């Protein structure tokens, strides 16, 4: 770095020393990953308590939900879907015993029965639905405390999920379904104080690319059902899907949106437009979601990386593959030098008021499949600093938590 240039510093977030010492942190992490060993934990994500009774939901539960997720607000459509799933459950059935589903014992507890309501679509609700399910069903003060103390910010967070993404649905545990690829659908929220911009899906075992779906849950579930219908589903399975979507639309008192109505947001996010003074998708990202930052009156806030998307994807993928197969720590650090050069440019940009560049690079690194997490410390440094500079401290906190547990689950490497 030329003399006289200062490294960026951000109070309350990753310090400049931490950003500069990324190589040292990577070396420490590499000791654990030297053999390329993948730590695993059973998916889907477990609930913090056993749910033996269907929940009752009130305003206090909704407030607790928002607190658990860092103060973000949830759209009414999510609460309406939760009510729908409860309505689909027979609340008079004894969920604590094996008397569900006509006494067959197919669903052994209330949580299973609740989650089974969307299984005709090959998915089940999770994330915020899990919180409401556990909190509303907590029968003791100890259970309620356990629910509130649980780390919901990393619950159902897969390897490539950026802080802007919040999982709402996961594929069911069925060998014929996409859960073998860790398929999940969720909200995309560009900044904590904003409403979700849209929903997207990702198959984490395939890669870090997210597919934009639309603005409303109802539309996205209908779109998901349409995609499944093109697979080798039986006529009966397709009929069950269609009946469930129709029932949900009737419950929500709205028609199933048309593709033309709901595709507007997808087209908008696919086209970067640098609009002054407002939150705008200023650049595409390798994860497909786009980078959204607010530009100042003179257009300051974002500058482009000196790589095309194609060349950057190729570079990062090749480096990750070599690091995954390399056992020598120093060799891995040498392989990462081209990325360190980009980080130096990001530090210049941060000094000069363009934190969007670092956010873009951090999100791009997060989207690259890797078995040993060779980019994790760089991701944490770039994103925690960048989110701090743009005033999204919640997302900086999510990044730090995510990087600590990212490899505790099946790492998303093709094959």
20 and 75 assigned to the same domain: no
pLDDT at 57: 86
**What's the token pair of residue 394?**
């919640």
29 and 66 assigned to the same domain: no
**What's the token pair of residue 69?**
């997720």
For 220-333, strand residue ranges (E) read: 279-283, 291-294
**Secondary structure of residue 46 in the 3-state scheme:** coil
Structural domain count of the chain: 2
d(CA 297, CA 341): 30
Question: Does residue 54 fall inside a structural domain?
Answer: no
DSSP string computed for 116-182: GGGGGGTEEE-THHHHHHHHHH--SHHHHHHHHHS-TTSTT--TT--TTEEEEEEE-S-TTSGGGGT
Helices 376-389 and 22-33, axial angle in degrees (round to 10): 140
pLDDT at 255: 81
Give the pTM: 0.84
Last residue of a domain, one of 240, 265, 290: 265
Per-residue pLDDT tens, the chain, 415 aa: give them: 332 223 333 333 433 334 333 333 333 333 333 333 334 444 568 899 999 888 888 999 999 999 999 999 999 999 999 999 999 885 434 444 333 333 333 445 889 999 999 999 999 999 999 999 999 999 889 999 999 999 999 999 999 999 999 999 998 855 444 446 889 999 999 999 999 999 999 999 889 999 999 888 999 999 999 888 888 788 999 999 999 999 999 998 888 766 666 566 666 676 666 665 567 888 899 999 999 998 887 878 999 999 999 999 999 999 999 999 988 889 999 999 999 999 999 999 999 999 999 999 999 999 999 988 999 999 999 999 999 999 999 999 999 999 998 877 544 444 4
Last residue of a domain, one of 234, 265, 296: 265
Question: Residue 276: phi, psi to the nearest 5?
Answer: -70, 135
Region of 93 (left: φ > 0; alpha: ψ -120 to 50; beta: rest) is: beta
d(CA 187, CA 215): 9
Q: Are the CB atoms for 34 and 327 separated by under 8 Å?
A: yes
d(CA 406, CA 87): 35
**Secondary structure of residue 240 in the 3-state scheme:** helix
308 and 210 assigned to the same domain: no
Q: Are the CB atoms for 406 and 374 separated by under 8 Å?
A: no
pLDDT at 167: 97
Q: For residue 132, with 0-12 CB atoms within 10 Å meaning exposed, 13-18 middle and 19 or more buried, which class applies?
A: buried
pLDDT at 276: 58
Question: Does residue 10 fall inside a structural domain?
Answer: no
285 and 256 assigned to the same domain: no
Question: Does residue 273 fall inside a structural domain?
Answer: no
Question: Does residue 365 fall inside a structural domain?
Answer: yes
Question: Does residue 389 fall inside a structural domain?
Answer: yes
Question: Does residue 50 fall inside a structural domain?
Answer: no
250 and 120 assigned to the same domain: yes
DSSP string computed for 270-281: TS----BTSEEE
pLDDT at 70: 97
178 and 71 assigned to the same domain: yes
pLDDT at 59: 92
pLDDT at 349: 96
pLDDT at 39: 40
pLDDT at 263: 62
Question: Does residue 7 fall inside a structural domain?
Answer: no
Cross-strand partners of 184? 170, 202
End-to-end Cα separation, the chain, in angstroms: 40
pLDDT at 347: 97
Domain span at 389:
16-39+279-408
343 and 370 assigned to the same domain: yes
151-156 contacts, C-beta under 8 A, 24 or more apart: 151/401, 152/68, 152/69, 152/127, 153/69, 153/70, 153/397, 153/398, 153/401, 153/402, 154/398, 154/401, 154/402, 154/405, 155/45, 155/126, 155/127, 155/130, 156/44, 156/45, 156/126, 156/127, 156/130, 156/184
Question: Does residue 52 fall inside a structural domain?
Answer: no
Residue in 325, 337, 324 with CA at minimum distance from that of residue 378: 337
pLDDT at 12: 37
191 and 328 assigned to the same domain: no
């Amino acid at each position: 770095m030329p003399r006289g240039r200062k490294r960026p510093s951000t109070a309350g977030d990753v310090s400049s020393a931490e950003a500069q010492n990324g190589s040292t942190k990577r070396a420490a992490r590499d000791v654990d990953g030297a053999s390329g060993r993948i730590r695993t934990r059973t998916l889907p994500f477990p609930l913090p308590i056993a749910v033996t009774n269907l929940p009752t939901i009130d305003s206090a539960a909704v407030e607790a939900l928002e607190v658990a997720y860092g103060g973000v607000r949830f759209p009414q459509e999510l609460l309406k879907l939760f009510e729908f799933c409860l309505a689909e459950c027979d609340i008079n059935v004894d969920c604590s015993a094996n008397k569900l589903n006509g006494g067959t014992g197919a669903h052994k507890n209330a949580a299973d029965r609740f989650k089974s309501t969307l299984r005709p679509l090959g998915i089940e609700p999770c994330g915020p639905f899990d919180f409401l399910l556990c909190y509303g069903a907590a029968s003791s003060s100890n259970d309620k405390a356990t629910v509130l103390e649980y780390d919901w910010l990393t619950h159902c967070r897969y390897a490539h999920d950026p802080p802007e993404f919040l999982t709402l649905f996961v594929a069911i545990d069925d060998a014929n379904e996409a859960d073998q690829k860790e398929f999940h659908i969720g909200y995309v929220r560009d900044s904590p104080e904003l409403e979700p911009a849209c929903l997207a899906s990702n198959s984490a075992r395939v890669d870090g690319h997210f597919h934009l779906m639309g603005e409303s849950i109802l539309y996205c579930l209908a779109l998901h059902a349409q995609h499944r219908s093109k697979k080798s589903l039986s006529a009966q399975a397709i009929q069950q899907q269609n009946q469930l979507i129709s029932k949900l639309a009737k419950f929500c008192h709205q028609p199933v949106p048309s593709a033309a109505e709901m595709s507007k947001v997808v087209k908008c996010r696919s086209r970067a437009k640098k609009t002054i003074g407002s939150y705008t998708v200023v650049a595409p990202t390798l994860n497909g979601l786009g980078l959204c930052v607010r530009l100042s009156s003179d257009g300051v806030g974002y500058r482009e990386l000196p790589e095309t998307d194609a060349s950057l994807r190729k570079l990062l993928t090749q480096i990750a593959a070599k690091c995954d197969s390399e056992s020598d720590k120093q060799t891995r650090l040498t392989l990462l030098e081209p990325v360190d050069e980009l980080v130096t440019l990001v530090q210049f940009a941060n000094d000069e008021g363009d934190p969007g560049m670092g956010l873009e690079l951090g999100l791009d690194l997060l989207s690259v499949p890797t078995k040993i997490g060779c980019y994790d410390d760089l991701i944490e440094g770039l994103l925690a600093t960048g989110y701090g500079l743009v005033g999204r401290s919640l997302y900086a906190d999510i990044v730090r938590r995510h990087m600590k547990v990212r490899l505790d689950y099946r790492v998303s490497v093709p094959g």
